[in-house]
Amino acid sequence: MTTAHLTCDLPLPNHRRGKVRDVYDATMNDGTPVTLLVASDRLSAFDVVMPTGIPGKGAVLTRLSKFWFDRIAAELGDAVPHHLLSVDAGDIAGLDDDQQAALRGRVMLGRRAQVVPIECVARGYLAGSGWKEYQQSQTVCGVPLPAGLKQCDRLPGPIFTPATKAATGHDENVSFDRAARAVGRPLMERLRDATLRLYALGRDHAAERGIVLADTKFEFGFPLDAQGNPGDTPILIDEVMTPDSSRFWPSETYAPGRDQDSYDKQFVRNHLEGLVDAGAWNKQPPGPVLPDAVVVATQSKYKKAFEALTGTPFVVHDGCEPA
Ligand SMILES: Nc1ncnc2c1ncn2[C@@H]1O[C@H](COP(=O)(O)OP(=O)(O)OP(=O)(O)O)[C@@H](O)[C@H]1O
Ligand SMILES: [Mg+2]
């Protein structure tokens, strides 16, 4: 286990800190203005960022996103354009060698975009908030579903279930109509089509690798030109089909009617639920320090997800920390 990258303080403008990424406006050495996304090793659970990080997690998320962006470009091409221009820290102008070295393996340089404030979720299986809603109303985000489905059952077909991007706290599931009223119906129809195509690509690839992609979330934005004006065609931004934005289950042990083993943060969540049951934490910040055993187990889950999906070992190169 190596040290986790938790903070990031670069001499670049417009620094925003998300739960996992530090985001900046940057310029590439060739003069292209970009959004710089630095993936930290921070881990959030129940929307609270834990004080303990998972070494190597930021690099896993970055490499896995890069893997998917390449496949998306190869298979969908112009039908679903994306933001990723480079994952090479050496392409960022204005940083010295040490600053670049500290970022290797965990940066994405994306086209600057005006973010569409809707989380575009595709679900192929009935889990999480979808399962909760189904039990109450036989719907998910207002989409009616057949009776008699069990927890984690495969849905008759994948569904699009948008959520509003809340500035703080929990994102809220909304109906397609409500999302369409918020940002415009033609845009939402386009994003729904793109989301379902992307999900199908990911699900089919994952299935070949022995993994169920139960659901996943995408973000889109309008690319900004040099004057900061948004273009007309939305592009896929942010991270793509990582354990942070998706539910992955090993196919081998998948069975509906119960919770699934997963490659995501379930291990941390179970640990935290134990603390909550014992009255030691109330799901409010600050989160508790995580024990080494939980960190190591979670680290190995992220690594396994990467290796299973890409078919390549998660190796140390580009100076990135070993996982
Ligand atoms: N090309 C891009 N241009 C502008 N912003 C982007 C781009 N790609 C991703 N982003 C934004 O960068 C941020 C990434 O940070 P992070 O993943 O830590 O956010 P987060 O805590 O998940 O917050 P959120 O709930 O808003 O996603 C997101 O707010 C995302 O919308
Ligand atoms: Mg995010």
CATH number of the domain bearing residue 192:
3.30.470.20
Tell me the C-alpha to C-alpha distance, in Å, between residue 80 and each of 83, 105, 240, 278: 10, 25, 13, 47
The answer, yes or no, to whether any atom of ligand 1 lies below 6 A from the CB of 170, is no
Which residue has tokens 């800190």?
17
Q: How far is the CA of 18 from the centre of ligand 1 (A)?
A: 7
Same structural domain, 247 and 125? yes
State the number of CA atoms in the 13 A half-sphere of 224 facing the CB.
Answer: 15
Same structural domain, 72 and 130? no
Digit-by-digit pLDDT tens for the chain (323 residues) are 678 999 999 999 999 999 999 999 999 999 999 999 999 999 999 989 999 999 999 999 999 999 999 999 999 999 999 999 999 999 999 999 999 999 999 999 999 999 999 999 999 999 999 999 999 999 998 999 999 999 999 999 999 999 998 766 678 999 999 999 999 999 999 999 999 999 999 999 999 999 999 999 999 999 999 899 999 999 999 999 999 999 999 999 999 999 998 887 878 989 999 999 999 999 999 999 999 999 999 999 999 999 999 999 997 544 444 43
Tell me the C-alpha to C-alpha distance, in Å, between residue 296 and each of 44, 69, 292: 16, 28, 6
d(C-alpha 159, C-alpha 262), whole Å = 21
Given 111, 130, 156, the domain boundary residue is 111
Residue 98 tokens, joined: 């040490």
In a domain, 162, yes or no: yes
Same structural domain, 66 and 136? no
- Return the DSSP state at 100: H
Range of the domain at 84: 16-111
In a domain, 86, yes or no: yes
In a domain, 308, yes or no: no
Same structural domain, 103 and 125? no
SS3 86: strand
Burial of 245 (0-12, 13-18, 19+ CB in 10 A): buried
**Which atom from ligand 1 is nearest to the alpha carbon of 113?**
3
Q: How far is the CA of 144 from the centre of ligand 1 (A)?
A: 31
List pLDDT tens digits, range 76-109. Answer: 999 999 999 999 999 999 999 999 999 999 999 9
Same structural domain, 94 and 149? no
The answer, yes or no, to whether any atom of ligand 1 lies below 6 A from the CB of 49, is no
**Which atom from ligand 1 is nearest to the alpha carbon of 237?**
8
Given 87, 111, 135, the domain boundary residue is 111
Tell me the C-alpha to C-alpha distance, in Å, between residue 242 and each of 26, 102, 218, 276: 24, 22, 10, 27
The answer, yes or no, to whether any atom of ligand 1 lies below 6 A from the CB of 38, is no
SS3 72: helix
Given 204, 225, 253, the domain boundary residue is 253
Residue 98, C-beta contacts closer than 8 angstroms, at least 6 positions apart? none
Residue 76 φ then ψ, to 5°: -110, -20
Neighbours of 319 (CB within 10 A): 12
In a domain, 20, yes or no: yes
d(C-alpha 289, C-alpha 280), whole Å = 12
> What's the chain's length in residues?
323
> What pTM was estimated for this model as a whole?
0.95
Q: Which residues partner with 140 through β-bridges?
A: 143
Residue 134 φ then ψ, to 5°: -60, -40
